[in-house]
Amino acid sequence: MINVLHCYKTYYPDTFGGIEQVIYQLAEGGIRENIRSTVLTHSPAYDEEVSILDHHTIHRVKTICEFASTPFSFNAVKTFKELAKSADIIHYHFPYPFMDFMHFAAGIKKPSVVSYHSDIVKQKLLLKLYSPLMNRFLKSVDRIVAASPNYVESSPTLQQFKDKVDVIPYGLDKNFYQNNDVAVLERWKSRFPQGFFLFIGTFRYYKGLHILIEAAQNSRYPIVVVGAGPIEAELKAQAQKLSVDNIHFLGALGDSDKAALLQLSTCLVFPSHLRSEAFGISLLEGALYSKPLISSEIGTGTTYINIHQQTGLVVPPSDPVALRRAMDEIWFNPEQAKRYGEAAHDRFESLFTAQKMVTSYNNIYKSLLSL
């Protein structure tokens, strides 16, 4: 049995982002590989709590404040140091600057892996202040894992540590997406009987939803948007101002509804326009359901998932005209769209299953423990 301690700033049930999903897949998928996982995370809702989620343990420490998307806690270092004693591997999830501090404050000497999920893009001034700690942290860990070769090549930070970087694509488990609720399927099918474009994600500045709204002007096909986030009000205001009435904001939905919409959709559209979008889990979800994909070329993992004119269409970022042209091409050419979707599914099976991800990480864990 290998005991792995995952460390990240947030986790279920407080948030439901892509990194949280990756941690969950590693924790649950690792059971078959004889890996036992514990997750240390912050929470604004709990003082100090231990809970079980399916087959892994979550330790939450109380967030006392948050600055630049980084939570801080009085008890985190003490709890982290205690949990690390019984761990064989410390698995960090980057970026989370307070984690770097905890690593040194706790005097961690265990084998360590960093899943490098994203460069720090938005806080450029703070990055200059943080860089010495970040570089010291990344230098001190044993292995760094990126989710795509595209991201390794385009990341100035990863290029500095290329000799210890591995590439392990994110993976999804089809079992978590099986929707057997016929009533849910029928309900959504009756609302959108002719098909629709689908976006799934948190409403953040880099997701490009404002570009999607602009591209949708004077179109008639339904565009379904699933999710919520800090810029929701301004997106809805933009749609109203531009008289775009065929975008349906459904809010955050449960797994059954999301699975039904993925199954019924015509195409998964993913307009993220900044490299803060390091991968794109939603693109994988579309590929899992054999859907054609539309994304932007931003030099990250999105174009590792979606290959232009093979699994879908790739357009320049921040270009609503090009995005609209791609959506029209998919909508009005169903046979071509079907071929793209089939190719997307084949690529998913080849590269992006949860089992492949878990096995690859397990190989790294074992290699570090054998040193």
| Domain segments of the chain as ranges | 2-172+353-369, 174-351
Positions of the chain with pLDDT lower than 50, given as ranges: none
What is the distance between the alpha carbons of residues 53 and 25, in angstroms, rounded to a whole number? 12
CA 318 centroid distance within chain: 21
Residue in the structure block whose two tokens are 């029928």: 186
Q: What fold is seen in the domain 2-172+353-369?
A: Rossmann fold (3.40.50)
User: Given this model, what pLDDT does residue 43 score?
Assistant: 81
User: Given this model, what pLDDT does residue 86 score?
Assistant: 95
User: Given this model, what pLDDT does residue 61 score?
Assistant: 86
Q: What CATH architecture applies to the domain 174-351?
A: 3-Layer(aba) Sandwich (3.40)
Buried/exposed 1-35: b ≥16 CB within 10 Å, e otherwise: ebebbbbbbbbbebeebbbbbbbbbbbbbbeebeb
User: Given this model, what pLDDT does residue 255 score?
Assistant: 85
User: Given this model, what pLDDT does residue 266 score?
Assistant: 98
User: Given this model, what pLDDT does residue 124 score?
Assistant: 67
Intrachain domains 2-172+353-369 and 174-351 with the same fold: yes
Strands (E), the chain: 2-7, 35-43, 48-53, 56-62, 65-67, 70-72, 89-94, 112-116, 143-146, 165-167, 197-200, 223-226, 247-251, 267-270, 293-296, 312-315
Q: What are phi and psi of 203, to 5 degrees?
A: -80, 90
User: Given this model, what pLDDT does residue 167 score?
Assistant: 97
What is the distance between the alpha carbons of residues 37 and 167, in angstroms, rounded to a whole number? 21
> Are 146 and 165 contacting, i.e. CB atoms less than 8 angstroms apart?
yes
User: Given this model, what pLDDT does residue 47 score?
Assistant: 63
Residue from 370, 369, 353 nearest 29 by CA: 353
